[in-house]
């Protein structure tokens, strides 16, 4: 239990890239604009100074909001709003188009702080308020330059944001996907279990961990070759994923071992495991050879760590193999009867 608490505290203390980006950006804005505010006061430009103080103060407030509450979604949107509003109002308060250059950082920043849709909407609204000022104060050539500059700025922001999201999603998918079977890998499993174990049982549903192992897989590899072994792993993973996809998640634990995490009760976990065992046995994954699997089940308890629940599932799996393989066994700590299914 003590280890679980330490692990949970460590996870909660780690800050994401988005949090760090917002912290650095908001503090930088607060300091930089605050310096401008002081300069404006010394020059007697009190309206401009007031504007700068407001923007600087808002940035500082948002810094502490991220630092204390770690709410990056709403805070990112608020930071984006401050950037756009600040870039627009500085033109009106500062006396016109001479301060147009603030639109560049002000309209680009939202694409780093919030999602593409929100950033685009905010910048479009900002343009609607900013362009009339140019229409009144500038000659046609300056107005045309302003429109083109803002348009290019917006296109760059949208393009960068979309490309970054695609790259990040693809990278995350590759990092968390097993290269051979296409199901989630050990890294994804570790993250999923950590997320569950730090959530108190009274705040989540009941989860069970099924550890599956292909019976006599080494013998299959030796007899049919590693290419056929890989084929069996791919077909087995796809077979299990197809039947679990709507109710749980499948992970490759290592070698011929796979993990299924499913949100259900004890009877549901046993029924699912038995259904998977039986369907694998009749699936004919390898032509002319019967492939079977042994399955160990463990309940994810409130006092569990990721390691402890996997340990109990592994113990149940070893019992299934010791009892003859091709069967389902519930962890002795989670069920009164060791063997749920015995195959003669």
Residue 97: CB partners within 8 Å, gap ≥ 6? 91, 133, 134, 137, 138, 142, 146
- pLDDT, tens digit (0-9, with 9 covering 90-100), for 210-226: 999 999 999 988 888 98
Tell me how far apart the alpha carbons of residues 150 and 297 are, in angstroms, rounded to a whole number. Answer: 59
Confirm whether 256 is a catalytic residue. Answer: yes
Give the pLDDT band of residue 9 (cuts 50, 70, 90). Answer: low
The number of CA neighbours under 13 Å toward the Cβ of 124 is: 8
Chain mean position to CA 18: 12
Res. 46: pLDDT tops 70: yes
Tell me how far apart the alpha carbons of residues 162 and 120 are, in angstroms, rounded to a whole number. Answer: 11
The catalytically annotated residue of 256, 257, 281, 315 is 256
Res. 340: pLDDT tops 50: no
Res. 344: pLDDT tops 70: no
Give the 3-state secondary structure of 143-212.
Answer: HHHHHHHHHHHHHHHHHHHHHHHHHHHHHHHHHCECCCCCCECHHHHHHHHHHHHCCCHHHCCCEEEEEE
Q: What is the pTM of this model?
A: 0.68
Length of the chain: 344
Tell me how far apart the alpha carbons of residues 5 and 8 are, in angstroms, rounded to a whole number. Answer: 5
Tell me how far apart the alpha carbons of residues 318 and 140 are, in angstroms, rounded to a whole number. Answer: 80
């Amino acid at each position: 239990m003590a280890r679980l608490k330490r692990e949970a505290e460590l996870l909660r203390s780690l800050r994401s890239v988005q949090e760090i980006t917002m912290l650095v950006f908001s503090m930088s804005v607060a300091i930089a604009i605050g310096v401008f505010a002081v300069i404006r006061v010394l020059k007697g430009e009190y309206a401009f100074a007031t504007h700068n103080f407001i923007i600087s103060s808002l940035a500082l407030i948002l810094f502490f909001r991220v630092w204390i509450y770690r709410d990056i979604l709403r805070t990112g949107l608020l930071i984006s709003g401050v950037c756009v509003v600040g870039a627009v109002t500085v033109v009106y308060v500062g006396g016109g188009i001479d301060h147009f250059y603030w639109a560049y950082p002000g309209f680009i920043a939202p694409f780093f702080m919030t999602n593409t849709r929100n950033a685009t909407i905010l910048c479009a609204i900002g343009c609607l308020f900013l362009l009339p000022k140019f229409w009144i104060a500038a000659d046609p050539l300056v107005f045309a330059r302003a429109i083109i500059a803002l348009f290019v700025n917006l296109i760059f922001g949208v393009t960068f944001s979309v490309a970054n999201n695609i790259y990040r999603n693809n990278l995350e998918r590759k990092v968390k996907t097993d290269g051979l079977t296409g199901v989630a890998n050990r890294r994804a499993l570790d993250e999923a279990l950590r997320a569950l174990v730090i959530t108190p049982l009274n705040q989540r549903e009941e989860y069970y961990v099924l550890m599956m192992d292909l019976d006599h897989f080494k013998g299959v590899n030796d007899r049919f070759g590693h290419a056929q072994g890989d084929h069996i792993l791919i077909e087995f993973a796809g077979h299990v994923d197809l039947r679990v996809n709507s109710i749980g998640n499948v992970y490759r634990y290592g070698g011929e071992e796979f993990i299924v995490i499913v949100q259900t009760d004890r009877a549901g976990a046993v029924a699912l495991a038995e259904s998977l065992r039986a369907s694998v046995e009749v699936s004919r994954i390898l032509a002319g050879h019967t492939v079977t699997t042994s399955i160990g089940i463990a309940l994810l308890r409130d006092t569990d760590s990721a390691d402890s629940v996997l340990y109990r599932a592994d113990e149940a799996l070893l019992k299934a193999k010791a009892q003859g393989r091709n069967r389902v066994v519930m962890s002795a700590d989670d069920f009164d009867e060791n063997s749920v299914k015995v195959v003669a």
